[in-house]
């Protein structure tokens, strides 16, 4: 399994802009080499999906558990390092992220057996009163494999 070591995002609908942690140089990330095995790529897709499901379930401890001890969560509300601090940061912004449905799509994955960079689109919907569009984001996640995990 891959652990997330940094997440950068741009929340368009919420008016929050955060520099991404990976260098994208325009569209050059689309041409980056992908030397991942199908198993590693599937594991990465599962991490991204589980992160979004944890947000939707408002299980911020579970969300934080996907981060390495030195993993950094970058957001418009500040950076958080490590699982516990990521969970605390999400708890502080609960009013902005609860009762939402987070859907990642168009994942572009590049990397090798030790590190991968995933650029994806995140679409956010209101989920209590309707499925109203709330906003979108471009996420850039850096994931690392450590000790085979």
Q: What is the domain partition of the chain in residue ranges?
A: 3-144
What global pTM score does this model have?
Answer: 0.78
- Of the pLDDT bands very low, low, confident and very high (cuts 50, 70, 90), residue 20 is very low
How far apart, in whole angstroms, are the C-alpha atoms of residue 141 and residue 136? 16
3-state secondary structure of 69: strand
Structure tokens at 104: 């990642």
Mean pLDDT confidence for 115-139? 90
| Cβ atoms of 9 and 21 closer than 8 Å | no
Of the candidates 6, 2, 3, 9, the residue with the CA atom closest to the CA atom of residue 96: 9
3-144: which CATH topology? Nuclear Transport Factor 2; Chain: A, (3.10.450)
Please say whether the beta carbons of 7 and 73 come within 8 A: yes
Q: What is the pLDDT of residue 75?
A: 84
Q: What is the pLDDT of residues 36-92, one digit of tens each?
A: 999 999 999 999 999 999 999 999 999 999 999 999 998 888 899 999 999 999 999
């Amino acid at each position: 399994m891959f652990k997330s070591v940094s997440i950068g995002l741009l929340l368009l609908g919420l008016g929050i802009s955060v520099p991404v942690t990976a260098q994208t140089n325009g569209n050059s990330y689309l041409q980056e080499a992908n030397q991942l095995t199908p198993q590693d790529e599937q594991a990465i897709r599962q991490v991204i999906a589980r992160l979004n499901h944890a947000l939707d379930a408002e299980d911020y401890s579970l969300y934080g558990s996907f981060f390495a001890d030195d993993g950094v969560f970058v957001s418009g509300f500040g950076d958080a390092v490590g699982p516990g601090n990521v969970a605390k940061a999400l708890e502080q912004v609960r009013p902005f992220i609860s009762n939402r449905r987070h859907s990642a799509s168009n994942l572009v994955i590049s990397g090798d057996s030790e590190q991968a960079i995933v650029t994806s689109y995140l679409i956010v919907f209101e989920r209590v009163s309707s499925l109203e569009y709330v906003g979108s984001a471009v996420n850039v996640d850096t994931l690392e494999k450590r000790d085979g995990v």
